[in-house]
Amino acid sequence: MQQQANPSKVWFITGAARGIGLSLARQALLRGDAVAATSRTLASLHQAFGDSSERLLALEVDLVAEASVQAAIDKTVATFGRIDCVVNNAGYGQQGTVEALSDAELRRNFEVNVFAPLHVLRHALPHLRAQRSGHVFNVASIVGFQGGYAGWGSYVASKFAIAGLTETLAAELAELGIKATAVYPGPVRTGFLSKDTLVVAKRSIADYTEAQASLDLHLNGLDGKQAGDPEKVATLILQAATVAEPPVHLFAGKIANTLAEQKMQAVRKDLDAWRGASDSTDFAE
């Protein structure tokens, strides 16, 4: 395939048919960048973006199938010549207590939220490494930093995994001129909490009343009322992509900032309270 003329940046964005991914793709295109936008169906991308253009590459990708991801990365490079920014945005929420979740439910959540981004990284990083440039954005969630929410153990664990992975990536990629950033949005007004998107465990245990209350709140009280604006989160990511020293940890929204502060204070409290006992576990000098 003939390569297109080099735009300002080339973005590879998963989950680009809705939410933050859609907002980011649209804004990147408006400023003259090129975007490879992935979704599970081409129809959803055509509905989101309309007619294709020379700077938009719509890709139907099964992110849990490595061969599908590899083909999408290869087509992006063949079309645009390179990839500058990789955005692992696709994912879904799995609700259910740790005791109630089945092995299949847990594994499916991790397949999409953790192993799919790893597929993307495995095949995108060789191109970034050859360029000695690029920026990886892994969209986690504030629950990937502050995880104290009854009934959300699978989703929280998957986002903590993404956060830890990004910290390691930042350390590994620094010598290659590649940046890595974990994005921690608070509640964002997307379709994430809708009954059509949020997956609820098939099994429910009545004793876990806090988990049920949290589910009811999120489905009936928060869906469509979240404080976060996906357009503004996308603008924040674009801003981070333009600075010389981007953050490894990028929090998005007042709620995310508040919860991050609370988590750091809680960790400090535990650290201080147990420092003497903790220090004593070393061999005596």
| H/E element, 154 | helix 153-173
Which pLDDT does position 145 carry in this prediction? 96
Per-residue pLDDT of 82-95, as tens digits, reads 999 999 999 999 99
Looking up tokens 């495995």 gives 122
Which pLDDT does position 214 carry in this prediction? 79
In DSSP terms, 56 is beta-bridged to 35
117 within 8 A of 87, measured Cβ to Cβ = no
Domains, in order of start, for the chain: 10-274 (3.40.50.720)
Which pLDDT does position 191 carry in this prediction? 54
Which pLDDT does position 5 carry in this prediction? 44
Per-residue pLDDT of 132-147, as tens digits, reads 999 999 999 999 999 9
Q: Tell which residue, 134, 124, 228, has the closest CA to residue 183.
A: 228
> Does residue 155 carry a catalytic annotation?
yes
Below-70 pLDDT ranges, the chain: 1-7, 188-197, 218, 220-228
229 within 8 A of 256, measured Cβ to Cβ = no
**Which among 92, 149, 155, 184 is annotated as catalytic?**
155
For 254, phi then psi, to 5°, come to: -60, -40
Amino acid at 115: F
CA dist., res. 139 & res. 152, Å (int)? 17
Neighbours of 213 (CB within 10 A): 12
Residues 6+ apart with CB under 8 A from 143: 149, 152, 155, 156, 159
